[in-house]
Structure 1
Amino acid sequence: MTKVAILTASDSRNLESDQSGQLIEKLFKAEGAEILTRKVVKDDLAALQQAYLTEEMLHPDLIIVNGGTGIALKDCTIQAISPLLQVEVAGFGEAFRQISFDEIGTRALASNALCGFNYYNQLTYCIPGSTNACQTALSKLILPEYEHLLFERSNLRKDLHHHAH
């Protein structure tokens, strides 16, 4: 069973009003995943990195950060999480923008999305905070592929372990 953590970057939402975080939780639970934690964190670089790097965040297989991915001055999710990733899955952001472009046109160009593995081999997604964008990212990209990505990385982990001996 995949263990998931959800971080929502927002200055205006709390756990009760965080519809995107609730949607992500519902969709992953429907897939049989276990939600270990769901938090709302200030849309602030240091606050996001601090929340991402806490002790409890060592337990999930997969971490989703939603919100703060745009180009507004306060948006800093990509800048906060990107340096913490060891390997980036570049096609995720490209595919997300393409799907978004088909849905909302050129406004999709201001939409950033990120996928990669951190130094603990945890699969991390950064997606926009709008509920519609979360629905799109999860249904079209994340849910169909996350198990395969985790499997590929676990094989890599075993290969690396094997070559070390």
Structure 2
Amino acid sequence: MAEARQDRPFVPVRIAVLTVSDTRTPETDKSGGVLAERIAEAGHNLSDRRIVKDDIRAIRAQVRKWLKREDVDVVISTGGTGLTGRDVTVEAMRGLFEKEIEGFGTAFHMISFQKIGVSTVQSRATAGVAKGKYIFCLPGSPGACRDGWDGILKSQLDYRHMPCNFVEIMPRLAEHMQRRKG
């Protein structure tokens, strides 16, 4: 059973939050606000927070900037994971992924199913690794952001979480890039 090991130190992670929306503004971005609040409550650092339109190029451009920054370890997006023509976050991010974290979507759906039932099938929550950093794509509702953070990310981004967590393997995410240089 999973547990938090108090004999291990807490390691703060540097996180950027991206809201993908054609309509939200900083004042109306409740989902980005939920994530920023939970990141701070957990003791992590909010490196940056942006809103971009539902456009593959705009999404990738912003995420590529963060992938180059030393003060960003994780990108969490909210919005654009649905099924409509404007929902393009998954396509934008998958184009950046070097590895996809398939279990993230599965875990998200298990949590979501308990709250909204089969309606969870309309979400394409996903995650992956790019340039040695994690990217997590959550749906655009505040409830989905709470579910994704509280049910998955809060534990997996905590070095004390056992038997394993995302933080302990962060230094090894870019190993393939080191091999190419050598």
Q: Return the TM-score normalized by structure 2.
A: 0.82
Assess if the C-alpha contact under 8 Å between 1:116 and 1:125 holds in 2.
yes
Aligned pairs (5 A) from 1:6-25: 6-25=17-36
| Contact 2:20/2:79 (8 A) holds in 1 | yes
Q: Secondary structure at the match of 1:117?
A: strand
Q: Check whether the contact 1:97–1:112 (CA below 8 A) recurs between aligned residues.
A: no
Aligned pair partner of 1:123 in 127, 130, 134:
134
Distance 1:156 1:77 in 2: 22
Q: Which residue of 1 aligns with 2:60?
A: 49
> Would you say 1:70 and 2:90 are equivalent positions?
no
Q: CA contact under 8 A between 2:132 and 2:173: conserved in structure 1?
A: no
| Identity percentage of aligned residues | 29
- Which protein, 1 or 2, shows the higher relative CO under an 8 Å CA cutoff with sep ≥ 6? 2
TM-score by length of 1: 0.90
Q: Distance in 2 between matches of 1:81 and 1:64?
A: 11
Whether the 8 Å CA contact 1:5–1:37 is kept in 2: the answer is yes
* TM-aligned CA distance change 1:144 to 1:82, over 3 Å: same
Distance 1:160 1:73, change over 3 A: closer
**Paired residues, number:** 164
For the 8 Å contact 2:67–2:133, the answer to whether it is kept is no
Of the three residues 118, 139, 155, the one matched with 1:144 is 155
Cα RMSD between the aligned structures? Answer: 2.2
| Separation (CA, whole Å) in 2 of partners of 1:51 and 1:3 | 16
Q: Which runs of 5+ in 1 are unaligned?
A: none
Give the counterpart letter for 2:77 in structure 1. Answer: V
Ranges of 4+ aligned residues in structure 1 off by more than 3 Å: 155-162
